[in-house]
Amino acid sequence: MDRQSRCFGQYGRPYLVRPVNLPQRNPYEGAPIVLQGNAASYSQPIHQSRRRNSFDSGIQSYYSRPASVMSRTTSVSETIQQEQIQIDLDMSVWDFYDKVRQKTLSCEKMRLNGYPMMGAENVVVIHPTKYEKDKHIWALTDDRECLRCHKMFSFHDMQGCDSHVHVTNQMPISVKSEFVETPPALSKHDPRSNKVYAVDCEMVYTMNGLELARFTMTNFNDEVELDLYVKPAGAILDLNTQHSGITMLDLEKTVETLETCRHQLFQFINSETILVGHSLESDLKALRLVHPNVVDTAIIFAENGRKQRLCHLSEHFLRRTIQLPGDGHNSKEDSQTTYNLLKYFISKQLFSSS
């Protein structure tokens, strides 16, 4: 029985849970690294005394920073003065896939982090995370809880709080039928297998909750494979442009729907393809997609279960400033950043094991 069948069988059956691969320790703390073959060069001298506890030390120094520093956004001028970390992995795409496969989430990890999974009778199941124990993922009526002010409201009474209307990320129970599984490999030679792609979605608030409005997927070489604006199916409540970067003009110009977006996506991926994302469960919910092989940088770089924003990780580990205030998010930039964080992580692992 393959991993997909074990993970996404009926929930009455026990999970086959493999140990979660924890970050390996790296002997150097936060030094910019360029990896070529087995040789690694750093921007500062390396002393034997620095050979202490590993990759986690870089993460630990990040999380031990004062809160005021954690929340600070580096200015453009500061970013220009910093040397961005460049990562050159001298390995094939297939070798990279094998390394990344070791970091895919176990079925239990996916469940605990709210990933969509296929349950009995091919009906999607999304378990609430520890932060959502008192929340309802699926809405049975027109009554909702506002995501911003936490007041209950009805779609018949849309007077809002921070926006002109209340918004919600609760999905109508009917949306369950929209979820599909990634198709399996056609054969052992399926060219879509053994690939690793980073994906990022921008969403807008509709009467169906959060719906996909832009989808971007990038490859090993930092190239964009897909970048699509998508028309939401539900009536739009709030574009949330200050965070999503989506404007009404973007949606008026596009002819893509969720179905056509997924159709194009499936030209590149099958169930063996590894998808990488930052809090990827949100992207898969927006895509209405159940996928068994995922790597989540929010989990890889978490400390004591505490996830950090992508922009903070990018600034600290890659020395790249993204998601500037007022600009909104950019799914292309976020996707590329996520892939580079994964490469950074793998490069540290390779060096520590050499």
**One-character DSSP codes across 181-248:** EPPPPSSTT-TTTT-EEEEEEEEEEETTEEEEEEEEEE-TTS-EEEEEE---SSPEEE--HHHH---H
Q: What pLDDT was estimated at residue 240?
A: 83
353: Cβ–Cβ under 8 A, 6 or more apart, which residues? 24
pLDDT at 307 (0 to 100):
94
Q: How many CB atoms within 10 Å of residue 207?
A: 17
pLDDT: which is higher, 85 or 7: 85
Q: Which residues contact 184 (CB under 8 A, 6 or more apart)?
A: 4, 270, 271, 272
Q: Is 188 exposed, middle or buried (0-12, 13-18, 19+ CB in 10 A)?
A: exposed
Assigned domain for 186 exists: yes
| CA separation, residue 15 to residues 21, 131, 179, 180, 320 (Å) | 17, 22, 21, 21, 39
* Domain annotation covers residue 142: no
d(CA 1, CA 197): 25
Is position 284 within any domain? yes
Using DSSP's 3-state secondary structure scheme, residue 253 falls into helix
Q: Which residues contact 227 (CB under 8 A, 6 or more apart)?
A: 214, 215, 216, 217, 331, 332
pLDDT at residue 221 tops 80: yes
Go through 276-286 and write b for each residue having 16 or more CB atoms within 10 A of its CB, e for each that does not: bbbbbbbbbbb
Domain at 98, CATH number:
3.30.420.10
Question: How many angstroms separate the CA atoms of 26 and 268, rounded?
Answer: 34
Distances (CA, A) of 46 to 27, 28, 29, 35, 88: 10, 8, 10, 15, 20
What is the Cα–Cα distance from 202 to 263, expressed in whole angstroms?
18
140 lies in some domain: no
pLDDT band at 76 (very low <50, low <70, confident <90, very high): very low
DSSP helix/strand/coil, 157: strand
- Segments of 87-132 assigned E as strands: 117-118, 124-125
Q: Residue 65 above 90 pLDDT?
A: no
Closest CA to 36 of 86, 71, 83: 86
- Quick one: CA torsion of 47, 51, 54, 60, rounded to 10 degrees? -70
- What amino acid occupies position 1? M
Report in angstroms the alpha-carbon separations of 291 from 18, 122, 182, 248: 17, 13, 6, 30
pLDDT digits (tens, 9 = 90+) for 138-162: 655 566 665 556 566 555 555 545 5
Is 138 contained in some domain? no
Nearest to 262 by CA among 230, 237, 306, 218: 230
Q: Model confidence over 165-199: pLDDT tens digits?
A: 666 657 778 899 999 999 999 999 999 999 999 99
Task: Tell me the HSE value of 242 on the side-chain side, using a 13 A CA sphere.
Answer: 4
pLDDT bracket for residue 92 (50, 70, 90) = confident
Distance CA 354, CA 343 (A): 16
163 belongs to a structural domain: no
Q: Is 210 part of a structural domain of the chain?
A: yes
Judge whether 169 lies within some domain: no
In order of 25, 103, 137, 208, 217, the CA distances from 297 in angstroms are: 17, 10, 23, 27, 15
Q: Which residues touch 187 (CB under 8 Å, ≥6 apart)? A: none
Q: Where in the sequence is the domain holding 94, given as residue range(s)? A: 3-17+27-128+177-353
Q: How many CB atoms lie within 10 A of CB 241?
A: 14
The count of structural domains within the chain is 1
What average pLDDT score do residues 279-288 get? Answer: 97
Please give the pLDDT value at position 1. Answer: 57
Residue 150: the pLDDT is 58
Q: Which amino acid is at 290?
A: V
pLDDT over 70 for what percent of the chain? Answer: 62
Q: Which of 180, 152, 131, 160 is nearest to 288 (CA)?
A: 180
